[in-house]
Amino acid sequence: MEQEIHFCTTSAGERIAYTVVGTGPAIVWPPAHASAIAADPGGPFFNALAAHHQLVRFDRVGCGLSDRDREDFTLAPDMRALEAIANHLHLRQFVLFGASGAGPLAITYAVNHPRRVSRLVLYGTRAYLDPAAQELRKAMAALIRTHWGLGSKTLAELFIPGADAATAARFAARERESASAEVAARLFGETNNAVDVRDLCPKVHVPTLVLHR
């Protein structure tokens, strides 16, 4: 899938890298963790989406080609990035696809902008992390911060279990390209552990599809 990288600016002055491929109704795909769209053109799944839709992806603040300085590890910078791209591309309505760690962001945005989100798709995600999962995230964050090489390989085992060695190596390398060890650790541990959108779930009024494997 051929893509060009473009940039827009949030209300707080953060530069956001984004890409748009395909034509048709818009689907916005926020990043689930650290992201580097320049190094990740997507595979068959994204190609299938882009065959019938305008697929929009972007790098989070602190990641990829977006501004790499990030001090705020709440959802606020990601909300600003999503809003900036929607405004910049003049998207009156779009499908919002929240996969994995992007689910809470997608839920929050859909509740705050119900007229702009035509459909909400949530895949393999959650509204909060239970205490056991939080402890695992803290341990992983410590590993990432201490040894990003080993941490990225461990993430590959978590996210794509059973992958062949070459695929796992490419995934780990892309993770290291996405963000510094400190940013990746804080996104994986601090941001994920702090997010709890259970109170927002009953307020989602747009048509929503929830998927799990």
Q: Give the tens place of pLDDT for each residue, 187-198.
A: 999 998 889 999
User: What does the pLDDT read at residue 147?
Assistant: 97
Instruction: For residue 85, report the phi and psi dihedrals to the nearest 5 degrees.
Output: -70, -45
pLDDT for 186 equals: 95
Residue 31: which of 145, 191, 211, 201 has the closest Cα? 191
The continuous run of DSSP H or E covering 118 comes out as: strand 117-123
Give the span between the Cα atoms of 179 and 77, in whole angstroms: 15
For residue 83, give the nearest of 12, 153, 34, 25 by alpha carbon.
12
Q: What is the pLDDT of residues 137-194, one digit of tens each?
A: 999 999 999 999 999 999 999 889 999 999 999 999 999 999 999 999 999 999 988 8
Single pTM value for the model? 0.93
CA distance 157 to 96: 27
pLDDT at residue number 78: 97
pLDDT > 80? residue 42 = no
Provide the pLDDT for residue 1.
64
Q: What whole-number distance in Å separates Cα of residue 67 and Cα of residue 59? A: 9
| Gap between the Cα atoms of 61 and 84, Å rounded | 12
